[in-house]
Amino acid sequence: MLGTVVALAANVGCESGSVCGATATPFDVVDVSPAPGSVVAAAQVVHSFTLVSPPGVFQSFTFAYGSAHSAGAPVPATLHFVITTTPTTVHYELGPVTWSSPPGDVVIDVPETYQAPDGCAYVFPSPLFDYTVAGAGGGP
């Protein structure tokens, strides 16, 4: 695990058409960086994503490596988000980190289902981050 459980700071209610209760609604996640499938240098990697119309502002997350993760651990080991909000989005930026075992694949999931106070359940796409870090020579 890479982080801690989520704290929901504010609730803005379920979106119309959201399924509340037994079925979790996927978060609308855009602008994921590094882009899925991309190849990046192993050092100073900044991770970011934006939630569109989320039920609140999440202060922390639980991250888990996917089974294909092979890039080692992030340095520093303690990760912190910078959070920017607009009336309709919440943008999260994390980093920079350096991966300890390049070359390799970075596959990171957010495995929890998040329960909003109004009864709606939300999940992140899986994986949230999925990219390759290059080796010392610049290639995967």
Strand partners, 45: 97
Three-class DSSP category at 58: strand
| Structure confidence at residue 32 (pLDDT) | 97
Compute the chain's Rg from CA coordinates: 16
CA dihedral 91, 96, 97, 98 (to 10 degrees): 140
Distance CA 41, CA 63 (A): 21
Query: What are 126's two structure tokens?
Result: 């899986």
| Structure confidence at residue 13 (pLDDT) | 42
pLDDT tens digit sequence for 56-93: 888 877 889 999 999 999 998 887 889 999 999 999 99
Q: pLDDT at residue 12 above 60?
A: no
CATH architecture group of domain 25-133: Sandwich (2.60)
Distance CA 129, CA 35 (A): 8
Distance CA 129, CA 115 (A): 22
Work out whether strand 89-99 and strand 45-52 pair parallel, antiparallel, or are unpaired: antiparallel
| pTM listed for this prediction | 0.81
pLDDT tens digit sequence for 91-126: 999 989 999 999 999 999 998 888 777 778 888 999
Q: pLDDT at residue 10 above 50?
A: no
